[in-house]
Amino acid sequence: MYEPIYPPSVWGSHVLTWGARTLIMGIVNVTPDSFSGDGLALGEDPASWAQHAAEQGARQVADGADVIDVGGASTRPGAAAVPPEIEMARVVPAIRALRATLPPHTPISVDTTSAVVARSALAAGASMLNDISGLRAEPELAQVAAEAGVPLVIMANMRGIRKHDVVSDVTRYLSAGMERALAAGVAWERIILDPGFGFGNTPAQNMELVRRLDALLALGRPLLLGVSRKSTLGHVLGDAPVEDRLEASLAAAVAGVLRGAAMVRVHDVLPTARALRVADALRYGMQE
């Protein structure tokens, strides 16, 4: 496999070093209806769930997470849209609590398609943006990233898009997203690409994405892969419930890493970190 060389992504006090090992993005869902079953119970007191979010993020960093990704709106198929004011009311207290708890060099990402939510999250202490619409929902999100000088994850969301060859279609989607980002002033070295495993593809297409992931390396930016607990893995296992997909998540993550993924987005950080130590030894070699 062609092994690309990416310069480090550097901004503020943060550095993401690509190519030495696979980076891990831990997931903190501040939403009651997460598909993965790990969303925080949201009561009337924001301080309560914010503290739980901070504790969850701290555990993930201790277990090996390099980035913590906070989301306040479920991305499962059929989930009701969340107004920006509700999304902000969820993520902003959590991000503030995380920023006060985590080491200063640990980036906090916000998983949102809303420019106004992104601005509020950045003001609260977030330092990355993760857009599952690939800048199609609100293209101005790219300008928010550019003005703040932070990394931007551009994901290929294929829901509602007719596909011919899934890898070629995802490549075109991500290329268009990169063009939007660059035109808005986002620095090339701060763009990260996500092929969108589980977003509008059939199980077979999702598995093909992982199997042919190295084809996306030609886009020239690090690939973030999110396979953790996805329904495709449950389908492969014979309709296994979400709480019974750990081994499948690890297998898919390792397969993706061996095909070029530079970062994985996961719920179960510690077992993923252990599995990736072996995957990285296979991919990058190890000292005797």
CA-nearest of 16, 12, 27 to 191 is 16
What is the rounded average pLDDT of the residues 115-132? 98
Task: Taking residues 67-82, report their average pLDDT.
Answer: 82
The pLDDT tens digits of the residues spanning 16-56 come to 999 999 999 999 998 875 444 454 555 556 667 788 899 99
Residue 163 is among the residues annotated as catalytic for this protein: no
The pLDDT of residue 35 = 46
> In this predicted structure, what is the pLDDT of residue 31?
81
Catalytic residue among 230, 245, 259, 283: 230
Residue 209 burial by Cβ neighbours in a 10 Å radius (0-12, 13-18, 19+):
buried
Given 90, 96, 119, 265, the catalytic residue: 265
Q: What is the pLDDT of residue 73?
A: 86
pLDDT surpasses 90 at 167: yes
Q: What is the mean pLDDT of residues 69-81?
A: 79
The answer, as to whether pTM is greater than 0.85, is yes
Check residues 46 and 2 and name the one with the higher pLDDT. 2
Tell me the mean pLDDT in the region 121-133.
98
Which pLDDT score is estimated for 38?
Answer: 52
- Express each pLDDT in 83-116 by its tens digit: 999 999 999 999 999 999 999 999 999 999 999 9
Q: Is the pLDDT of residue 11 over 90?
A: yes
Report the chain's C-alpha Rg in angstroms.
Answer: 17
How far apart CA 106 and CA 185 sit, in angstroms, is 24
Residue 132 has pLDDT above 70, yes or no: yes
What does DSSP say about strands 14-16 and 224-225: parallel, antiparallel, or unpaired? unpaired
Q: For residue 201, which phi and psi values (nearest 5 degrees)?
A: -110, 155
Q: Average pLDDT of 212-238?
A: 97
Structural domains for the chain = 9-283 (3.20.20.20)
Confidence at 265, pLDDT banded by 50, 70, 90: very high
The answer to whether residue 230 is catalytic is yes
